[in-house]
């Protein structure tokens, strides 16, 4: 008689935070009440078990400790059997089960690989345009809790660096369309940031599109003057200075 591995009966559980909250079991969305969504999102952002008192105080900061603890118990109870399987809770600590996948964790790993020097990346690591979507989405848009906003800003910085690095890597492989898309994604995420503008201008220069490079520089300079009253840096001006005689002919 063959003994069945109990792990084969486990559902594949996934918490998604990028672009909005979703909970899935075996690829099927599972409805989770709002309060329980906040609990799962908080645990996913932590990435490790935390003390129950810390979780309750963070999620319900405007009430007494007893009320916050009661709200935590209620959020756990309302998860339902499927979503409840994603949480490991003891009398002192609470966290996600190690079997749960989180989209942010995967995208963050990708971002760190991209931002690392190319020589330190795994030999088989060849980033492509598919990575752009994973790096172009915000954490829980429309959620304004402090514990969300802190993580959202951290992710914004991480993905900006990764998108710029991706644009440079694609440019090195002469994949100009993908490099342009990655640089534009970084520009949309932070229009006043100079480094993604520089990445985009480098792509235009490499393609021989002097007019587009100069137009991008001019538009960025106008935005800086309007919003901040400053000019582009000397480094960016040097980047486009070689194009001015070409454009004038």
CA–CA dist 39, 72 (Å, integer): 8
134 and 180 in contact (C-beta within 8 Å)?
no
pLDDT, tens digit (0-9, with 9 covering 90-100), for 152-210: 999 999 999 999 999 999 999 999 999 999 999 999 999 999 999 999 999 999 999 99
Instruction: Report pTM.
Output: 0.83
Domains annotated for the chain, with CATH where assigned, are 10-99 (1.10.10.10), 103-173 (no CATH), 191-249 (no CATH)
pLDDT, tens digit (0-9, with 9 covering 90-100), for 57-105: 999 999 999 999 999 999 999 998 999 999 999 999 999 999 899 999 9
The residues near 73 (Cβ < 8 Å, ≥ 6 apart) are none
For the chain, the average pLDDT equals 89
pLDDT, tens digit (0-9, with 9 covering 90-100), for 206-237: 999 999 999 999 999 999 999 999 999 999 99
Mean pLDDT, residues 9-25 taken together: 89
């Amino acid at each position: 008689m063959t003994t069945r591995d109990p792990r084969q009966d486990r559902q594949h559980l996934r918490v998604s935070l990028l672009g909005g909250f979703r909970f899935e079991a075996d690829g099927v969305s599972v409805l989770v009440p709002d309060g329980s969504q906040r609990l799962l999102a908080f645990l996913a952002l932590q990435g490790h078990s935390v003390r129950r008192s810390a979780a309750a105080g963070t999620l319900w900061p405007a009430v007494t400790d007893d009320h916050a603890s009661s709200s935590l118990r209620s959020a756990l109870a309302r998860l339902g059997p499927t979503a409840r399987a994603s949480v490991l809770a003891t009398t002192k600590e609470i966290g996600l089960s190690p079997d749960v996948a989180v989209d942010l964790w995967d995208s963050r790993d990708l971002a760190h690989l991209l931002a690392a020097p190319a020589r330190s990346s795994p030999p088989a690591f060849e980033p492509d345009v598919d990575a752009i979507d994973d790096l172009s989405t915000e954490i829980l848009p429309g959620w304004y809790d402090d514990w969300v906003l802190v993580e959202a800003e951290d992710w914004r910085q991480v993905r900006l660096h990764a998108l710029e690095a991706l644009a440079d890597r694609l440019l090195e492989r002469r994949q100009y369309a993908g490099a342009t898309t990655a640089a534009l994604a970084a520009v949309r995420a932070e229009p006043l940031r100079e480094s993604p503008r520089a990445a985009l201008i480098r792509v235009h220069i490499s393609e021989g599109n002097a007019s587009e490079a100069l137009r991008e520089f001019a538009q960025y300079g106008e935005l800086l003057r309007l919003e901040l009253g400053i000019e582009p840096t000397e480094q960016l001006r040097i980047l486009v200075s070689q194009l001015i005689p070409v454009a004038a002919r």
